[in-house]
Amino acid sequence: MQYDVVIIGSGPGGYVSAIRCAQLGLKTAVIEKYKTFGGTCLNVGCIPSKALLDSSEHYHNAAHTFTTHGIDLKDLSVNMSQMIARKDDVVAQNTAGITYLFKKNKIDSFEGLGSFVDKNTIKITKTDGTSETITAKNVVIASGSKPTALPFLPVDKKRIITSTEALNIKEVPKTMIVIGGGVIGLELGSVYARLGTKVSVVEYLPTIIATMDGGLGKELQRVLKKSLGMEFFMGHKVTGATAKGKKVTVSALNAKGEEVSLEADYCIVAVGRTAYTTGLGLENIGIKTEERGNKIPVNAHLETAVPGVYAIGDVITGAMLAHKAEDEGVFVAETIAGQKPHINYNLIPGVVYTWPEVASVGYTEEQLKEKGVKYKAGSFPFKASGRAKASMDTDGFVKVLADESTDEILGVHMIGPRAADMIAEAVVAMEFRASAEDIARICHAHPTYTEAIKEAAMAATANRAIHM
C-alpha cells in the first residue's frame, strides 16, 4: 500500500505526529512492534509511574498528615497488588484511547518491526516471522529509547532492575538502592520511600537533577531526606553490582577514592536512556547514528540525511521528554504538509514528579553566568504562601530570572506543590517574551499556589515582594 506518511513507533511523538498528519489530509500509517500503542511513555514510563506516584502519595499522606487534618485511621496498610492493578488499568485506558483516535482519524496501523528496504519502502516483520511491505512518500522515525545499559552493571530484571521492572514489584521492599540521581531514579525511589522502603540514591555528580537549576537540586535533596528519609551518596562512582539470593550488593568509590559497599533488596539502575534504532535497517538507506547516545542526526526541519525521512523524539538530540516528542511530531507533520511551524527548544519545560514537584523552563542561573548575561533574580518561598500553609505544602520556592536591562524573563525555576502545572504560566509568558513586571502586574487568584510566581516576579523587579 502507498502512503503519504509512514511513522515507525507509536509513542507520544509517533502517535501525535500520525494524528496531525491525518488532520492535514495525509494518508497515514503507523508501525508498532508491540501489541499496544503508546510506546515507553504510556506503557512503562510517564503514565504508569505517575499512577504509582499518585497512589503512594495518598498512602504517605494517610500515614503522616491525616491526623493533623483531623482524620483518624486504623490498621493502615499497603495493598501492593491492588496498587499495581490500578496502575495497569490506567495504562490500559490510555493505550485504548490511542486505538480510538487512530480509528477516528482513519490511520492505518501495523503490528511488527518496521525496517527500511529503501527510503520509500518499509518492511514489516511480524512476531510469527511473516512479513509485508508498504511504501511511503515520507517516513518518520519515532522509535524512542531504552534504559542505558552499562557493562559493569548487569541487569537481571529480578533484583538488579530498570525502571520497567520497578513498576511491577509485588511487595514493598525493606531496602532499595537507586543508581542515578536523575528524574527517573528519584521518581521511582520516592514511590517506594513513601511506602516505607529505605531508599539510598548513589549519584556520580555532586548534585541530583544536575541538568536543572542548582538551587532546585539542593532543595529537593533536603526535602526528600527530611520527609522520606532518603539517603544520598553524592560524588560516588559505581563500580559494580551483584545479586545473590534476595540481596543486591553495590560497590562504589566515594569522592576520596575509598571503596564503599551498599546492600539492599533491590537495585534500580537509572543512569539514563539510549536512542533505540535496533532493526530499523538504517544502514540500508545510508543513515549513520552518532557514537554518543546512538542518536540519529537531523537538520533544522528534523529531516535526516535522506530526503523525505524524518526523525523525532528520544531518537534525536535533545531532552528525552514526551512533550518534546509531541511538539516535534506536530512540527514534522506540518512541515511535510508545506507549512512553516517552529519549536523554541529553550521553552520546553522540564518536570520532576516527586513531591514536592520540580519544574523549570528557560535558562538556569548557571547558564546565564556562563554566557555572561547580566540578570536579576527573584525568589519566593512557599512557606510564605497562604495556600501552601493551608495544604501543609510549605517546602520549596519559585525563582524568576530576568534580564537586568530589559526585564525580559529568561528562566523560571520552581520546586513546590503542583509545580508541574504551574510552569505552564511561565512558558506562556516567555513565549510572548513577557517581562517580570508583566507577571507582577497580572492579577492572580487568592489563595493559590501561582501567587508564588507573581511574588517571585515582584522580587525580581525592584525586590518588592509583598508577603515576605
237 known ligand binder: no
Which position has the grid cell 485506558?
Answer: 93
314 known ligand binder: yes
Whether 62 contacts 73, CB under 8 Å: yes
338 known ligand binder: no
Whole-angstrom CA distances from 450 to 329, 391, 397, 418, 422 are 30, 14, 11, 9, 6
Structural Rg of the chain based on CA atoms: 23
Which position has the grid cell 491525518?
Answer: 22
What angle is formed at CA 305 by the lines to CA 303 and CA 311, rounded to 5 degrees? Answer: 35
Grid cell listed for 201: 540514591
416 known ligand binder: no
Of 64, 69, 301, 446, the active-site residue reads: 446
25 known ligand binder: no
What angle is formed at CA 160 by the lines to CA 159 and CA 162, rounded to 5 degrees? Answer: 115
d(CA 19, CA 13): 10
374 known ligand binder: no
Whether 45 contacts 68, CB under 8 Å: no
d(CA 201, CA 181): 6
413 known ligand binder: no
467 catalytic? Reply is no
184 known ligand binder: yes
d(CA 439, CA 428): 11
Report which DSSP code applies to 405: T
Buried b (16+ CB within 10 A) or exposed e, 269-290: bbbbbbbbbeebbbeebebebe
Whether 193 contacts 229, CB under 8 Å: yes
414 known ligand binder: no
d(CA 377, CA 436): 10
Peptide bond into 173 cis (omega under 30): no
Count CB atoms within 10 A of the CB of residue 32. Answer: 25
321 known ligand binder: yes
Cα 139 vs. chain centroid, distance in angstroms? Answer: 26
440 known ligand binder: no
372 known ligand binder: no
5 known ligand binder: no
Residue among 95, 137, 133 nearest 120 (CA): 137
Long-range contacts of 460-464 (CB under 8 A, 24+ apart): 460/376, 460/377, 460/378, 460/400, 460/401, 460/402, 460/436, 461/376, 461/378, 461/402, 461/407, 461/435, 461/436, 461/437, 463/378, 464/440
11 known ligand binder: no
Whether 348 contacts 323, CB under 8 Å: yes
How would DSSP label each residue in 157-194? Answer: SSSEE-HHHHTT-SS--SEEEEE--SHHHHHHHHHHHH
Residue among 83, 309, 109 nearest 192 (CA): 83
Give the active site residues. 446
Show binding-site residues. Answer: 50, 114, 180-187, 203, 272, 314, 320-323
Which residues are documented as binding site for NAD(+)? 180-187, 203, 272
**Binding-site residue positions for FAD:** 50, 114, 314, 320-323
